[in-house]
Structure 1
Amino acid sequence: MTVDTALKADHDLEPLESSQGTLLIGQSVANPPTWTNVLAHYSPEVRARLRTQSCSAVLLVEVGSGKGKRLFALCFGQGHHAIEDDAIQRGFGLRVVLNSVSRSQLRTLDSASLDTTVMQRRVQASRDTDLSAFDLDANRNLLRLASGTPKMDDFAKALAGKDALHLRAAFDPSKLSEMCEKALNLFQATDYKKDFAFIDHVQPVADRALTDRLDALAFKDLEAMVDGNVSDLHLAIPDVLTPEANLEIGYFGNGLPSGPKMAYGELAIEDYVDELRKGSFTQIANMAEIKRSHEVRVITDGEGDRDHKRRLYTCFVHEVTLHKDIFVLFDGQWFLISRDYHAEIEDAYKVLLKPAFRASTTAKNEREFIAELGPEHHLLSMDQTKVSPKGAAGANLEPCDFLSRSKQLIHLKDGHASAPLSHLWNQGLVAAEAFVSDEVFRKGFRAAAKKREKKFTKNGFAKLLPDGRSKLIPSEFAVVFGVMRHLYVSSGTLGLPFFSKVALGAVAERITRMGFSVELHLIEKR
């Protein structure tokens, strides 16, 4: 990596003579803040009186020699926006923190669960705290950021890291290179394996030829979506956003529609694909073109704000299988799922997978499939039945979509719809918890079943449920997750995305502890 390739082509920073490294600086022009547009309605003078501007600096320092030479970028102000995304060592800051901080000295953890809706979570303690207090599901969540107090204070008093490393330390400008060398040594250490070995479940892919091949597979799935086919490819902002960051965004780049932009209230693959269809998708040759030119920008009056943007590629979330290995794309980085971790999840998944109560369906969606199953003699539709537990009158939980004569509590989901499968898993979990622990919910469930028996002219279902005098025996019931899915094109088989299997395993374990059995039924969408 060189100074020239480390910075974006349009960085607009100017070089300044420096006694060490390469220093580049930038100063923005003073302009009224955007929020003065509101105040100007009441006081026109406000736009002339208020100004805001920012400054940037990047100091690039080479450390080491020969093949071990690395380039460090020390960023000040808005300088980090000038760094080329591909030049960043992903996970550098996180690895330094985990090699420096013991499990009992953590202050903040950020994690992400990778589903069709990415759930990001930040837990922050008021003082140094043990890992166990953060309630991190190491098998389900990707650890993104950590902060805490180092075991030794010869490097820093406090550390926080994701890709970048942030530190609080007494700084001697004459020892800058030594500090960078120490940070590099901490990155290369393996101390993290003692308390944080689970981060190796997902390992960054560094091989450029392999990432290019994975990008080609992801682009092929994007092409399929533009053609109207289904894929598990989706979009998510890979950062924890502040609650007030409720902005409208638009899609920009080669092959996308020009002129005033459609403003969207959220990032969604469906909207992006619609924009590709309205534009000239044939101009986009490959994923490299999307990496180069496609951006998500904040929209103001139909125009994109060039100061508030990010590469769209960093928002892709996808999973592909290559040579029996599972790879996941998140935050612009491909990760390899370790084979031991993959085998562990697959073994648990196979235990749950059972022959489906309906092998296939021509229904286009969940609603049509529920209508198709309604006449079945052995099933009672409980779809859209709302029952509330004690003390939660407005909870309106759905006990299940269907109750079977063999005491199956069946929950259904179209596995290719926009709602994530994790919603289905959690629906089954919450309903099971209410069923086993709340007598008011059980009575409500039985009463709702009686009403449905009358509605559909069926009988014998309500008596399968506890009546208030009889005791619930969870082992007599099975929680069944029925998922409608298209066959995978590559293998011709039915399956689930890897991280959906991870989430299912965690939920199934909790339901099983209550005494219920848990089954997964995959129904082919024809």
Structure 2
Amino acid sequence: MPVSTTCKPVSVYRLEGGRELADYLGPVEDDVLFDGPVIINGIEGRQVLGTRETDRPAWADQVESLTGLALPELAGRQPWTVVLLPVGEWTFALTFGGAHHLLNDELVDQSFGLSYAIRRLDADRLGTVARAALDATARQIQTSFPGGGDLGAFGLEPYGEMVTRVAGSADLSDLTYGRETRRKHQIRAARSLNLPMSSSPAAFTRDLETLTTIVDEPDEHSALRFWAQTRPLGKRHPLLPDLERRLAKALGGDADAGPLGFAWPHNAIREAESADSFKLRRAGRSPVVFTREDGLEAIVGRLSLLNPRERIRLLRDASVTPCEDVEGQYQLRNQIALRKWISFETEIDHSTYCYHQGEWYRIGEQFVEQIRSQVAELLTHRADLDLPTWVPTGKQDDEHRYCELVAEQAGFVCLDRDLAKTPFNRRLELGDLLGPGDQLIHVKWLFQATAASHLFVQAGSASWSLRAEPEALEQLRAKVRAADPERELKAPSSVVLAVAGRPWTVEKLFTLSQIGLLRLNAEARFLDTKLEFAEIPFLDKKTAKQMRENAA
């Protein structure tokens, strides 16, 4: 039964305070009907009211072509308004009709909405949770329960997922709506909050003050507090200048600034996996073509010639294109900004900061310590394998050559490059080797710290397919029978990650790579699979190159 209330839903943003009200809005290109001061409960604010002209929709021509009927005029005008009001140390923006696009994003408090949700959402009546993975996949997932569900129903992972948007039943007893109705209400939260606010000026400003009080409360009591463990930094975060200076040093070749890696953008993982070369553009007079193994060296080599400020600018302006040939002549997709290909990590005041997919993230001290402790314990699970020394050949197919070398030993089968095909995976790499105890072995030369993330993704994809797709397991069995007709494989006994180039230690892995490893282990346990590790004896690439030159 409806209840009487003075409140109506509104989208509320919180912005950095102390600025001229004009600073909070970007250029307004729409038709402005009003732009001037307003007074709300004695506080002077600013309101901008306008309309946006909408064009004839792009689909209209196709519909007319298919149906043969002329559509009426579909262009129109959409009204919008934004109200800016300084309250306390902050300035609040109320947006209607899509006016959020006018806000100066650099001044928006990026954590405001989610911080309120953590403190007031009912963890047993969540409606929607959207999250993004902070690893090589950068996948995004939204889960919704129309009738509401408890926290456990959403399958949230304890590591490496950043909650980006939520909706659910919230306790609004501190606000006018709660006092008037004595009811909870369905709110939506991300950067902003969408919730019922009073239409009374005095009550409205009190509600804004209350929102700030709630967001500043401790969150120890909340079952949702882990959502705040990994958060993006705002565009004007006070640490950004220091973080960018450290990144600039790393891009110039300073190893002490923090670990730097050549990563793969989430929207180009398939192309990057199959690319034989990459082309760096707009980072000098001529493009630079490089392989995945020497990518970081090539990028740092070009950027180290510039001053630190220019390095950060080129990180934004330069681009990388994956190519299907060694010479970089045939691109697999369009150019992608260089910033999407770089990963970096540094520590300030016991907190870890990661540069990932072109954005900065903060990972809390306790969270990092917990991750490292669990990864250190996991890495003690070593496989009982006798692997030969990997001597780099300097060839593009170096990994395949090593797998063939291992397969010369009794009990090993080379699977590298022998791809499977299933209804859900047209090109599936089940593994690189099968061991004498039916271990499914994934092999990688860890030429840099970020390379481990791609190994984890490959191993996870293969494990899921072998469990969920009968075709994948049957094709694996067929490959084993083809190599050894007397051998009958029931199912792999374990999954082994075998690496050369660097040892399996916590210190040699990016924090985001460690997050990916914990996720892989959780998947392996769910699939009733044992995850093990092996270190391949190797000759470093510099020594191997010198040996080849001497032999020639």
Question: TM-score scaled by structure 2?
Answer: 0.66
Match of 2:110 among 90, 99, 122: 90
Q: After TM superposition, give the deviation of residue 149 of structure 1 in Å.
A: 1.0
Q: SS of the residue aligned with 2:372? A: helix
Q: After TM superposition, give the deviation of residue 371 of structure 1 in Å.
A: 2.5
Match of 2:496 among 452, 475, 480: 480
- 1:51 match: 75
- 2:281 match: 274
Deviates more, 1:272-281 or 1:175-184: 272-281
Match of 1:423 among 440, 452, 457: 457
Relative to 1, partners in 2 of residues 1:55 and 1:408: Cα closer, same or farther, differing over 3 Å?
A: same
- 1:495 match: 508
Relative to 1, partners in 2 of residues 1:382 and 1:213: Cα closer, same or farther, differing over 3 Å?
A: same
CA offsets 1:314-347 (integer angstroms, 9 cap, x no match): 9788441236753124688633322222222222
Relative to 1, partners in 2 of residues 1:395 and 1:78: Cα closer, same or farther, differing over 3 Å?
A: closer
CA contact (8 A) 1:112 1:143 kept: yes
CA contact (8 A) 2:494 2:529 kept: no
Q: After TM superposition, give the deviation of residue 112 of structure 1 in Å.
A: 0.9
1:183 aligns with 2:203: no
- 2:436 match: 405
Q: Which runs of 5+ in 2 are unaligned?
A: 1-16, 178-184, 254-259, 288-302, 320-336, 542-552
* Structure 1 segment 187-202 matched on structure 2, within 5 A: 187-191=215-219, 193-202=221-230
In the aligned structure 2, how far is the partner of 1:120 from the partner of 1:330? 15
Match of 2:94 among 74, 84, 98: 74
* Structure 1 segment 272-351 matched on structure 2, within 5 A: 273-276=280-283, 285-286=309-310, 318-322=343-347, 325-329=351-355, 334-351=360-377
In the aligned structure 1, how far is the partner of 2:427 from the partner of 2:211? 53
In the aligned structure 1, how far is the partner of 2:192 from the partner of 2:394? 45
CA offsets 1:105-125 (integer angstroms, 9 cap, x no match): 211111111123310111011
CA contact (8 A) 1:511 1:518 kept: no
Relative to 1, partners in 2 of residues 1:6 and 1:192: Cα closer, same or farther, differing over 3 Å?
A: farther
Relative to 1, partners in 2 of residues 1:516 and 1:277: Cα closer, same or farther, differing over 3 Å?
A: same
Q: After TM superposition, give the deviation of residue 431 of structure 1 in Å.
A: 5.7
Q: After TM superposition, give the deviation of residue 402 of structure 1 in Å.
A: 0.3
Relative to 1, partners in 2 of residues 1:212 and 1:422: Cα closer, same or farther, differing over 3 Å?
A: same
CA contact (8 A) 1:5 1:84 kept: no
Greater RCO, 1 or 2 (C-alpha within 8 Å, sep 6+)? 2
CA contact (8 A) 1:114 1:317 kept: no
Q: SS of the residue aligned with 1:335? A: strand
Match of 1:158 among 149, 168, 186: 186
In the aligned structure 1, how far is the partner of 2:264 from the partner of 2:474? 41
Relative to 1, partners in 2 of residues 1:59 and 1:500: Cα closer, same or farther, differing over 3 Å?
A: same
- 2:533 match: 519
2:123 partner amino acid: R
Match of 1:210 among 230, 239, 258: 239
- 2:521 match: 508
Q: After TM superposition, give the deviation of residue 150 of structure 1 in Å.
A: 1.1
Relative to 1, partners in 2 of residues 1:77 and 1:102: Cα closer, same or farther, differing over 3 Å?
A: same
In the aligned structure 2, how far is the partner of 1:279 from the partner of 1:418? 31
Q: SS of the residue aligned with 1:19? A: strand
Relative to 1, partners in 2 of residues 1:443 and 1:97: Cα closer, same or farther, differing over 3 Å?
A: closer
Q: After TM superposition, give the deviation of residue 59 of structure 1 in Å.
A: 0.9
CA contact (8 A) 1:31 1:52 kept: yes
In the aligned structure 2, how far is the partner of 1:178 from the partner of 1:409? 62
Question: TM-score scaled by structure 1?
Answer: 0.69
In the aligned structure 1, how far is the partner of 2:311 from the partner of 2:192? 25
1:148 partner amino acid: G
CA contact (8 A) 1:480 1:521 kept: no
- 1:32 match: 56
Root mean square deviation, CA, Å: 4.8
Match of 2:85 among 61, 81, 87: 61
CA offsets 1:187-217 (integer angstroms, 9 cap, x no match): 1122464302323432566895532121234
- 1:449 match: 480
In the aligned structure 2, how far is the partner of 1:361 from the partner of 1:4? 64
CA offsets 1:79-104 (integer angstroms, 9 cap, x no match): 21222222111111011112111210
In the aligned structure 2, how far is the partner of 1:508 from the partner of 1:365? 32
- 1:123 match: 143
1:61 partner amino acid: L
- 2:415 match: 382
In the aligned structure 2, how far is the partner of 1:292 from the partner of 1:32? 34
- 2:200 match: 172
Q: After TM superposition, give the deviation of residue 139 of structure 1 in Å.
A: 1.9
CA contact (8 A) 2:139 2:266 kept: no
Q: After TM superposition, give the deviation of residue 182 of structure 1 in Å.
A: 1.7
CA contact (8 A) 2:440 2:494 kept: yes
Deviates more, 1:380-389 or 1:280-289: 280-289
- 1:247 match: none
In the aligned structure 1, how far is the partner of 2:266 from the partner of 2:475? 38
Relative to 1, partners in 2 of residues 1:50 and 1:374: Cα closer, same or farther, differing over 3 Å?
A: same
In the aligned structure 2, how far is the partner of 1:522 from the partner of 1:193? 47
Q: After TM superposition, give the deviation of residue 35 of structure 1 in Å.
A: 3.9
- 1:368 match: 398
1:231 partner amino acid: G
1:274 partner amino acid: R
In the aligned structure 2, how far is the partner of 1:315 from the partner of 1:181? 39
- 1:101 match: 121
CA contact (8 A) 1:482 1:523 kept: no
In the aligned structure 1, how far is the partner of 2:64 from the partner of 2:308? 43
2:497 partner amino acid: F
In the aligned structure 2, how far is the partner of 1:425 from the partner of 1:393? 16
In the aligned structure 2, how far is the partner of 1:120 from the partner of 1:150? 24
Relative to 1, partners in 2 of residues 1:279 and 1:90: Cα closer, same or farther, differing over 3 Å?
A: farther
In the aligned structure 2, how far is the partner of 1:218 from the partner of 1:382? 39
CA contact (8 A) 1:325 1:339 kept: yes
In the aligned structure 1, how far is the partner of 2:424 from the partner of 2:53? 56
CA offsets 1:458-485 (integer angstroms, 9 cap, x no match): xxxx64x55x6xxx7x7xx442123566
- 1:7 match: 24
Q: After TM superposition, give the deviation of residue 445 of structure 1 in Å.
A: 3.8
Q: SS of the residue aligned with 1:336? A: strand
CA contact (8 A) 1:383 1:401 kept: yes
Q: SS of the residue aligned with 1:28? A: strand
Match of 1:114 among 129, 134, 139: 134
In the aligned structure 2, how far is the partner of 1:48 from the partner of 1:148? 40
